[in-house]
Structure 1
Amino acid sequence: MSNVETNPAAVRCGAAAHGAAAPQVDVLPPRDVPLGGPRAMTVRRTLPQRARTLIGAWCFIDHYGPDDVADTGGMDVAPHPHTGLQTVSWLFSGEIEHRDSLGSHAFVRPGELNLMTGGYGISHSEVSTAGTTILHGVQLWVALPEQHRNTHRDFQHHVPNPVRVGGADIRVFLGSLAGDTSPVRTFTPLLGAELVLDPRSTTALPVDAAFEHGLLVDQGEIRMGGTLLAPAELGCLGTGSDILTLTNESDTPARVVLLGGTPFEEQIVMWWNFIGRSHQDIVDAREAWEIASDRFGSVEGYDGHRLPAPALPHATLTPRKNPTRP
């Protein structure tokens, strides 16, 4: 999915002090971001924001739906570029058609993962299919480390099998959890999983103490340790915890997305759909897209024009200060 804000902010993300004496859950509320047009769907964005810009290498979290496509028009994101990142698509309901400049033509459905690696440059489109009535899911980005940020384009699809632990059904789409490991390749240690928790149940999960963790609540009210999280909120936990205790305080099943990773120790600049290390990296990527260079290739099969890049600000992009990690 594209970041289609007309005035995207430049964000510098990176490591800050971490290793607090006691685990602390920070609660990040979402902000609404329209994807453009009078009938466009609106997403709820919890990352990045001023309080926090990274969870491991996870640098972008959009949560959308459930949207009735008869009212919103569904998803129709024209071909657009990416650099320096991987995109992760995960659905709760509906179906999305993916096309990219690698030549990939694939669909993502509930319980299935699409992971695309942008590296030096890729372009893609995402369109909800005609059979979709309710569209609901998350779109996530992972920053690539310096060693691999100019890697080649790639696309992976994976359908994880559910694993039962305590009162939860778990689908691990990246990394390892609950005895299951995803075969999908990443460039830093990561965790990504969907959990559906039984009503009024508590599940204790062994996790990697070297990881930071984020819990995005889709439905229900979840207690993460001693902190209560409402739908659409993101709970963030620093390193040092080897057990994650989740309690569904609702009388109905609850659904969450658990993300994690080792602290990302590099400084990165995010603007529009690009991740670089400097203002000039962003300028170069934008120019390459605007002149339709071979850097991003072309998307075949999309019925329409590609997205133009927003105008750069009339000044050097000024990154935000690093937040303090819990």
Structure 2
Amino acid sequence: MDDPVGGSDGVFGATLATGPEPESVLLPGHDVPLGRYTTVRRLLPLRQRRMVGAWCFVDHFGPEDVRDRPGMQVPPHPHTGLQTVTWLVEGEIVHRDSLGSDQAIRPGQLNLMTSGHGIAHSEQSPADHPPGMHGLQLWVALPESARHGEPRFEHHADLPVRHDGDATVTVLVGEYGGLRSPARVHTPLLGVEVVVPGPAALRLPLDAGFEHGVLLMAGAATVAGTALEPGSLLHLSPGRAEASVEVDRAARIVLLGGEPFDEDLVMWWNFVGRTHEDIARARDDWMAGRRFGAVVDCSHPPLPAPELPTVRLKARDRHGRTRGTA
């Protein structure tokens, strides 16, 4: 959605860079069905890039006209070893989980669910949902120190917002420009939405110790010299103090970032673990009705887990490599 907001030609007063920009890689993503009624643009994990900091999964859905359709209808399913982050710019989705949470999320609000050792949830548009749907669903890998903890759910209806001329900056996760999100995460992490009416030339200050991903949700923008289309993700390597952004019409940009995540992961279905055995135990527990609990007040039956592959699942680093491979 192209949302006009206020106006100038910079963000946080950052200055223009003069040297060559570090390495960047454009990730095109691919379409994936989510439930019976929704198709998402999956931007992580991909073969070319598995993670941005601890961000290990990025789905961009919409903008979509759902006035005569059910909208999002994802039945109860389990998670381990991760946090789910939901950000809406159009529509309404009701989150229900096995902790007893029953929470609608609307544009400008953030849902953060921490699975810890195990949780189940569903995501459904209500029957009287708005006509449009557009948003992001993301996963954050939990570090070893947090992945066995108790599950929890947070809903944040009031996130820190800063207006810098033409740009409206909302801090979803982490700290940016002196603003800190109330969302609780477990590794150095960043999630920021920047909305500009365009045209504009911006400089986004970055933490040089972070790697970053720039996602264009709507409009048109050139970031660090690379033209982005909606539903693409530009990966920026660590070592960059800022990123140039050129906008020739209204645009909605999401900046993700974090310290490179150094723990090897096994990601399969809705689980993030460290070994094949982690995943196999989680699947067995879900199918046996153990560990995850039941989602409250959901009319859909739980999703059955797919069969495990016939080969062992291997832990991979953030580049997609197994130990001992280049």
- One-letter code aligned to 1:191: L
Q: Secondary structure at the match of 1:283?
A: helix
Matches within 5 A, 1:268-287: 268-287=265-284
TM-score by length of 1: 0.88
Which digits, 9 at most, give the CA deviation of each residue in 1:105-148, with x for residues without a partner? 11111110000000100000110122222111010000000111
Which digits, 9 at most, give the CA deviation of each residue in 1:89-108, with x for residues without a partner? 00010011011111111111
2:230 is aligned to: 231
- One-letter code aligned to 2:29: P
Q: 1:47 aligns with which of 44, 48, 56?
A: 44
Q: Distance in 2 between matches of 1:205 and 1:46?
A: 22
Q: 1:312 aligns with which of 296, 308, 312?
A: 308
For structure 1, list consecutive stretches of 5 or more residues without a partner in the other structure. 1-20
Q: Secondary structure at the match of 1:147?
A: coil
For structure 2, list consecutive stretches of 5 or more residues without a partner in the other structure. 1-19, 322-326
Q: Distance in 2 between matches of 1:245 and 1:280?
A: 44
Q: Distance in 2 between matches of 1:235 and 1:264?
A: 18
1:10 is aligned to: none
- One-letter code aligned to 1:311: E
Q: Distance in 1 between matches of 2:285 and 2:62?
A: 33
Contact 1:167 1:203 in 2 (8 A): no
Which digits, 9 at most, give the CA deviation of each residue in 1:239-278, with x for residues without a partner? 111222211133xx10011100000011001000000001
Contact 1:90 1:137 in 2 (8 A): yes
Aligned length: 300
Post-superposition shift, 1:324? 8.1
Post-superposition shift, 1:284? 0.3
Contact 2:95 2:124 in 1 (8 A): yes
2:220 is aligned to: 221
Post-superposition shift, 1:319? 5.3
State whether structure 2 residue 109 is matched by structure 1 residue 112. Answer: yes
1:299 is aligned to: 295
1:60 is aligned to: 57
Q: Do the aligned partners of residues 179 and 198 (structure 1) sit closer, same or farther apart at CA in structure 2, a change above 3 Å counting? A: farther
Matches within 5 A, 1:163-202: 163-202=162-201
C-alpha root-mean-square deviation of aligned residues, in Å? 1.7
State whether structure 2 residue 147 is matched by structure 1 residue 142. Answer: no
TM-score by length of 2: 0.88
- One-letter code aligned to 1:133: P
Q: Distance in 2 between matches of 1:22 and 1:205?
A: 13
Q: Distance in 2 between matches of 1:173 and 1:120?
A: 24
Which digits, 9 at most, give the CA deviation of each residue in 1:167-190, with x for residues without a partner? 311110111112211121100011
Q: Do the aligned partners of residues 168 and 324 (structure 1) sit closer, same or farther apart at CA in structure 2, a change above 3 Å counting? A: farther
Contact 2:21 2:224 in 1 (8 A): no
Which digits, 9 at most, give the CA deviation of each residue in 1:17-38, with x for residues without a partner? xxxx95122100020001243x
Q: Secondary structure at the match of 1:281?
A: helix
Q: Distance in 2 between matches of 1:236 and 1:89?
A: 21
Q: 2:98 aligns with which of 78, 96, 101?
A: 101
Contact 2:21 2:240 in 1 (8 A): no
Which digits, 9 at most, give the CA deviation of each residue in 1:287-307, with x for residues without a partner? 0000001x1111110012111
